[in-house]
Chain A
Amino acid sequence: MIQFKDVGLVYPNGTEGLKNVNVTINDGEFVVIVGLSGAGKSTFIRSINRLVTPTKGSLLVDNEDILSYRSGELRKLRTKVGMIFQNYNLVKRSNVLKNVLAGRLGHTGTLRSILNLYKKEDVGLAYESLQRVNISEKIYNRADELSGGQQQRVSIARVLTQKPGYILADEPVASLDPPTSHQVMSYLKKINKEDNITTIVNLHFIDMAMEYADRIIGMRAGEVVFDGPVSEVNEKTFEEIYGRSIREDDLRGGADES
């Protein structure tokens, strides 16, 4: 369970990333955060694994306030909160298996990982994760030989290998074409259901949010302006969140192809 209690975040340059955020996310939920760019979606997500640190309020993950965490506890937190990025963030020159094994770093001793001495279970787990996203045949290819969609699948496998309780995905499909976007979202949804992993995804495409989310949180200027199950959402809701009428580029399209 993740609880935001009166969370606020002011960046050193004075911009307010988050304002009075009060949100509770229950285990196993698939939450999509929507909002225009700069609305604070990214800040919201990155607060949960402390890639950014809120300056106000308290943020509870599994009933522990993570804002007071220091390096050791922080690493432990990050092993149970996996993250997927817009640009996949793979090491391009390393092969797929090595990239996926990086998900085990938090569970592996420094010396062991530097000498590449992963436990057999870890290698097995990495391979299993790759099979789950259907990319195990590329295991020894270098990451830069893969297409964008394939790279994003590898990064999902990396997160799976981490055995997380939570998955954060920061604009996971913004750099992909419509069919591949749906493929990636389907994998995320499947993992969410099969492993009961709480999943929080940033999206700015309305149709995708509607299709995959259990619950939608709308943000504008650092504040939560909407929070409710997907059944309560309609076009009007989005117009309120975005503060303007819906345009064609707010839609991803291509849902029929997947």
Chain B
Amino acid sequence: MTNQSKDVVKGKTPSLYPVKTKAQVSIIFIVILGFYFFSMFWTQREMVGGFGDSLGNMFTVIGKFFPPNLSVIPAILEPMAQTIQMAIVATTCAAILTVPLALMSAQNITTFKPLYYATRTLMNILRTIPDLVLAVIFVGLFGIGVLPGILALFIFSLGILAKLISETIESVDMNPLEAMRASGGNVFQVIFFGLVPQVLPQFTSFVLYVFEINIRASVVLGLVGAGGIGLVLNQQLGFYNYQNAMAIIVLIFVVVIVIEYISNKLREALI
């Protein structure tokens, strides 16, 4: 006889979930909550006046950003354009170089295991490095300018793209590839005729997605001297020109929304 039926016999209501699950869930819940309170305590320990004061303060301070000084917009269009151009160059280069890398890190194409594991590991390490750290290092190497920004975005997007695309390649239908091999096609022909048509829509979609990420990331890069709109934003904040800064933020906001909208429409058309 199981525990539950024993309970019923004794006239107790059986619990809806097993006791063990209940205990486990409770413990996990308490641990998460405890860790949360610790985090909150730790992150607020240097704060003057505590949480309550700050929240009250917040609205008055945020008020300083309003109204945004939209008259600076014409002056910041050029750095904004530079930001977009950086993202375009970096995304394009990454999209091209990702092709061999993705093929090498796809298990069904690269049957030579050591090569597969080597590329995989390299890509995994690459993806853990934040774009900003890459930018800082490249600024250290090349000095302030757009080049370190482009390089940082390029390496960063390469890691993401290669992973997404190699996963797509691993999920394709291998049958047509076998047919191409059986009719005497060589490796390049098999890839171009059997594989490319199957992954092209996802490939384009992922490239657009990474482009969106790059637009946002390139704002950040400017903060460490890697060119674009972020540089200007950093200067304005440094001079406490909050209303100018807000105008820049509004412009970034609008550009990001417009680019996301276009890229979403394109992706819907593709898949």
For residue B175, which residue of chain A has the nearest CB? A89
Contact check, A103 vs B188: say whether CB atoms are below 8 A apart.
no
Decide if B238 is an interface residue (CB 8 Å cutoff).
no
| A105 touching B198 in the complex, CB below 8 Å, given contacts A89-B175, A110-B189 | no
Query: How many Å lie between the Cα of A155 and that of B184 in the bound state?
Result: 15
- Select B179's contact among A75, A85, A92, A113, beta carbons within 8 Å: A85
Give a binary string over A67-86; 1 marks a CB under 8 Å from any B CB, 0 the rest. Answer: 00001000111110111010
| A79 touching B186 in the complex, CB below 8 Å, given contacts A85-B179, A91-B198, A102-B193 | no
| Tally of B interface residues using CB under 8 Å | 22
Question: With a CB–CB cut-off of 8 A, which chain B residues contact A105?
Answer: 180, 183-186, 189-190, 193
Contact check, A114 vs B192: say whether CB atoms are below 8 A apart.
yes
Contact check, B176 vs A89: say whether CB atoms are below 8 A apart.
yes
For residue A168, which residue of chain B has the nearest CB? B182
Contact check, A75 vs B176: say whether CB atoms are below 8 A apart.
no
Query: How many Å lie between the Cα of A78 and that of B179 in the bound state?
Result: 10
| Tally of A interface residues using CB under 8 Å | 34
When A and B form their complex, what is the total count of cross-chain residue pairs whose Cβ atoms lie within 8 Å?
Answer: 85
Contact check, B176 vs A103: say whether CB atoms are below 8 A apart.
no
Contact check, B173 vs A92: say whether CB atoms are below 8 A apart.
yes
Question: With a CB–CB cut-off of 8 A, which chain B residues contact A41?
Answer: none
Decide if A87 is an interface residue (CB 8 Å cutoff).
yes
Decide if B178 is an interface residue (CB 8 Å cutoff).
yes
Identify 11 residue pairs between A and B in the complex whose beta-carbon atoms are under 8 Å apart, listed by A's number: A78-B183, A78-B184, A79-B184, A81-B182, A91-B176, A102-B183, A102-B185, A107-B184, A113-B189, A113-B192, A114-B189
Give me the interface of B with A, judged by CB distance under 8 Å.
173, 175-176, 178-186, 188-190, 192-194, 197-198, 200-201
